[in-house]
Amino acid sequence: MKKATSSKISNFSIERLLLYSRTLSDIKRNQKVTKILSTDIASFLNIDSTQVRKDLSYIGKLGKRGLGYFVDSLLNALNSFLYRDKKINTAILGIGKLGSALLGYQPFQKYNIHIVAGFDVNPNKIGNRLNNIIIYPVDELEYIIKAKNIQIGVITTPESAAFGIAERLKNAGVKAIINFAPVFISFADKPIVENIDLSYFFEIARYKIFR
C-alpha cells in the first residue's frame, strides 16, 4: 500500500525523519518530557524549524500550531511511517573487510534489520560462519535469496564484480540493493538502489574544517 503523502518525499526528508525519530527516542529516555515543539527539535538538531514542520507534515496532522507534539504519539507516528516495525532480511555479497565489518555490525538488530546470509567466491571463506552467519558460495545466490526471503542485497564486492552481482540480485528478486562498491548502480525500475560513498563523510568534514 502506497501512502499518498509519501510519493514525492526526498531522500533528505526521509533521512531527517529518521533523525527526528532517533532524537525523540533520546530525548524521551534522558529528559522524560511528554511534549515537544518543532522549534525544540529544530534547535536540538540545528535545522530550520520550517523544515522540521514541513518534514513532519508528511506523516500527517499531529501537532497544533504553537502547542507542540506529544513525544509518544509523534514517535509512534514516525516509526510507523518509516516502517521501523517491519523486519528486513539482508545478505552481504562479498565478505572482504567491509563485508565482514557489516556482518558484525551490532546496531542493525536494534532496528529490526537482520543479516541472514553472506556470499563469497573464495573457497576458504565459503562454509564458514561469521557472527553466526553462514558464508554461502555465490553460485547459490538465487536459491538462498528465495529460501531465506532476503529483501535487501548489500554489495561489498570489488568494483569489477559489482555490476554482475547487482544484475543477479535483480533477477533473484531482491527489493533493494545497498551498494558500497565504488561504482554507480542504477536500474530503470526495480530494485531500488542506494549507492553509498564513504568519501562523502570525509568531504563534509573537510568543508566544515575550512569554511
> Would you tell me which residues interact with a copy of itself (CB under 8 A)?
2-3, 6, 10-12, 14-16, 18, 26, 46-48, 82-84, 86, 88, 90, 96-98, 100-102, 104-108, 110-111, 113, 151-152, 159, 175-176, 178, 182, 184, 192, 194, 196-211
Comparison of 4 and 67: residue with beta carbon closer to a copy of itself: 4
Of residues 92, 93, 87, 94, the one with CA closest to residue 105: 92
**Shortest CA distance to 87 belongs to which of 152, 6, 157?**
152
Smallest gap, in angstroms, from Cβ of residue 130 to a copy of itself? 9
- Could you tell me the smallest distance in angstroms from the CB atom of residue 128 to a copy of itself? 14
Residue 110 vs residues 1, 33, 133: alpha-carbon distances, Å: 25, 23, 17
Q: Considering the complex, what minimum distance in angstroms separates the CB of residue 76 from a copy of itself?
A: 16
Question: What's the CA gap between 113 and 85, in Å, rounded?
Answer: 10
Nearest approach, Cβ of 64 to a copy of itself (angstroms)?
26
Please state at what angle helix 11-31 crosses helix 38-45, rounded to 10 degrees: 100
| Element housing 30 (H / E) | helix 11-31
Of 128 and 139, CB closest to a copy of itself: 128
Maximum alpha-carbon separation in the chain:
62
Of residues 6 and 122, the one with the C-beta less far from a copy of itself: 6
Nearer to a copy of itself, 139 or 192 (CB): 192
